Amino acid sequence: MRSNHWSPMAVKRTTHVSVGRRGVLGRRDFLRGISAASLAAGTLSWTDLMGLRADELRRRGMACILLWMQGGPSQMETFDPKPDHENGGETKAIATSVSGIQIAEGFPQLAQVMDRVALVRSMTTKEGNHQRASFLLHTGYAPTASVKHPTLGAIVASQLGDAACELPAFVRVGTRFRNAGSGGLLGVEFDPFELANPEAPPQNTTPATAEDRYRRRLGLLERIETSDAQSADPTLVAEHQQLYQKASRMILSPQMRVFDLDKEPAVERDAYGRTAFGSGCLLARRLVEEGVTFVEVSSSGNWDTHFDNFTRTRELAEEVDRPFAQLLTDLGQRGLLDTTLVIWMGEFGRTPRINGRGGRDHYPRAFNVALAGGGIRGGQVIGSTDPAGVEVADRPVAVADLFQSFCKSLKIDASLENMSPIGRPIRIVEGGAPIDELFA
């Protein structure tokens, strides 16, 4: 689904994983654990009960938030500044809350929570094309004509999705998702539910009639389709019925209130910043808290700074800094950061040397990624580049290593195989090894 418009096809992209796979608490088990006396005495309302259950699910389950910087953010204007070299240009470095770690001056708020963040400054790939590199960083695989590899969100949703949650397991927020991938060989069930504008609830997700009349219409539709199953393809009929059942489950769910940011106190909205990206990060926290497994939020700006690099990156950093820092703080205060992996990354970095237009061009040879939560030990830097920022000088990290680390954080078996349409088993991650220092 694109934009803020809903269609039945979009809701087919919801969770299809048993509760047992996540090891989360089932409805009956949870209810057995609640004191009947509390309910009988009126000290615990049904709303409170459901809130406690959702909180228990989130504590036991894992989730992931990907903050995607479309266009390829400059490592020197983000988390690997080079103020003492001419390649660093006019970007200054600032101290952080962790002694010895400096980042670019455009991230003063994130600098204050650096104890929660691990920086990987030695990412390296060979893909310098936006489309191919975006696909690689989303799936762990280079694009091919024969296999549609699933994107990270689809992998996480398929492995960790909570069947009790009535919302889609994989939600994308924003508009800049060029070649970000889909459910791929896992099927359209794990495609993302896409929301272009996080500041407004999804459109066309409210029944046009009263709920009882809506349900009667669904029943009539099911009877008509069942009677036609003998003359039509029964598989198509079954898929269509499943689609509408899932769509109806979603739009009739009280959990849809999570998309309404007006429910948040003004002070909370202000803390994230009243921008598209700030609202996206706040919505991501709300979705994860409600039981959604994977949320991807795209920066509304374009980090493809071939010209006027320094002015543009200051503006882009200003958009991202406060929401990123507040998201980590908010998740930490709510007890969700330990079970929520937060990833900040783009498809590659920018050239160390500044071009004739005051910009930086594509540079996959050495760039950075920021990680937090999900068992990641913050306040550290993994790898380094040389003083000019041209080469990885220490601890090179490939995309497969990064995806192995994602899986370790989220407790996903990276060696699990999915079957391609041609009968070829495809591992979640092929090769590589987790970056063990992240978890030390």
Q: Are 319 and 312 in contact (CB under 8 A)?
A: no
Listed range (37-51, 132-146, 186-200, 251-265) with the worst mean pLDDT: 37-51
Q: If you average pLDDT over residues 77-92, what whole number do you get?
A: 98
Q: If you average pLDDT over residues 127-153, what whole number do you get?
A: 96
Listed range (14-18, 226-230, 334-338) with the worst mean pLDDT: 14-18
Model confidence pLDDT, tens digit, residues 329-342: 999 999 999 999 99
pLDDT of residue 253: 72
* Percent of residues, the chain, with pLDDT higher than 90: 69
Listed range (14-18, 179-183, 313-317) with the worst mean pLDDT: 14-18
Residue 238 has pLDDT above 90, yes or no: no
In whole angstroms, give the CA distance from residue 100 to residue 282.
Answer: 30
Residue 325 has pLDDT above 70, yes or no: yes
pLDDT of residue 224: 67
**Mean pLDDT, the chain, as a whole number?**
85
CB neighbourhood size of 147 (10 A): 17
Going by pLDDT thresholds of 50, 70 and 90, the confidence category of residue 98 is very high
Q: How many residues does the chain have?
A: 440
- The CA radius of gyration of the chain, in Å to the nearest whole number, is 23
| Sign of the torsion formed by the C-alpha atoms of 26, 29, 34 and 36 | positive
Listed range (21-25, 181-185, 403-407) with the worst mean pLDDT: 21-25
Residue 251 has pLDDT above 80, yes or no: no
pLDDT of residue 27: 38
pLDDT of residue 205: 60
Going by pLDDT thresholds of 50, 70 and 90, the confidence category of residue 49 is very low
Residue 23 has pLDDT above 80, yes or no: no
Q: If you average pLDDT over residues 224-236, what whole number do you get?
A: 63
Long-range contacts of range 205-208, CB-CB < 8 Å, 24 or more positions apart? 205/6, 205/250, 205/251, 205/256, 206/251, 207/251, 207/252
Going by pLDDT thresholds of 50, 70 and 90, the confidence category of residue 30 is very low
Q: If you average pLDDT over residues 411-436, what whole number do you get?
A: 93
Q: Of 342, 257, 345, which is closest to residue 70 (Cα–Cα)?
A: 345
Q: Report residue 318: phi and psi, to 5°.
A: -60, -35
Residue 161 has pLDDT above 80, yes or no: yes
pLDDT of residue 436: 97
- Predicted TM-score (pTM) of the model is 0.82
How would you classify the pairing of strands 384-385 and 392-394? antiparallel
In whole angstroms, give the CA distance from residue 69 to residue 345.
Answer: 6
CATH class given for the domain over 8-35+45-207+252-439: alpha beta
Q: Report residue 329: phi and psi, to 5°.
A: -65, -45
Q: Are 23 and 60 in contact (CB under 8 A)?
A: yes
Residue 320 has pLDDT above 60, yes or no: yes
pLDDT of residue 188: 85
In whole angstroms, give the CA distance from residue 348 to residue 331.
Answer: 27
CB neighbourhood size of 145 (10 A): 5
Residue 309 has pLDDT above 80, yes or no: yes
> Can you give the three-state secondary structure of the chain, one letter per residue?
CCCCECCHHHHCCCCCCCHHHHCCCCHHHHHHHCCHHHHHCCCCCHHHHHHHHHHHHHHHCCEEEEEECCCCCCHHHCCCCCCCCHHHCCCCEEECCCCCCEEECCCHHHHCCHHHEEEEEEECCCCCCHHHHHHHHHHCCCCCCCCCCCCHHHHHHHHHCCCCCCCCCEEEECCCCCCCCCCHHHCHHHCCEEECCCCCCCECCCCCCCHHHHHHHHHHHHHHHHHHCCCCCHHHHHHHHHHHHHHHHHHCCHHHHHHCHHHCCHHHHHHHCCCHHHHHHHHHHHHHHHCCCEEEEECCCCCCCCCCHHHHHHHHHHHHHHHHHHHHHHHHHCCCHHHEEEEEECCCEECCCCCCCCCCCEECCCEEEEEECCCCCCCEEECEECCCCCCEEECCECHHHHHHHHHHHHCCCCCCEEECCCCCEEECCCCCCCCHHHHC
In whole angstroms, give the CA distance from residue 389 to residue 84.
Answer: 11
Q: Of 189, 127, 172, 98, which is closest to residue 418 (Cα–Cα)?
A: 189
Residue 206 has pLDDT above 70, yes or no: no
Residue 362 has pLDDT above 50, yes or no: yes
Q: If you average pLDDT over residues 55-74, what whole number do you get?
A: 81
Going by pLDDT thresholds of 50, 70 and 90, the confidence category of residue 189 is confident
Residue 408 has pLDDT above 50, yes or no: yes
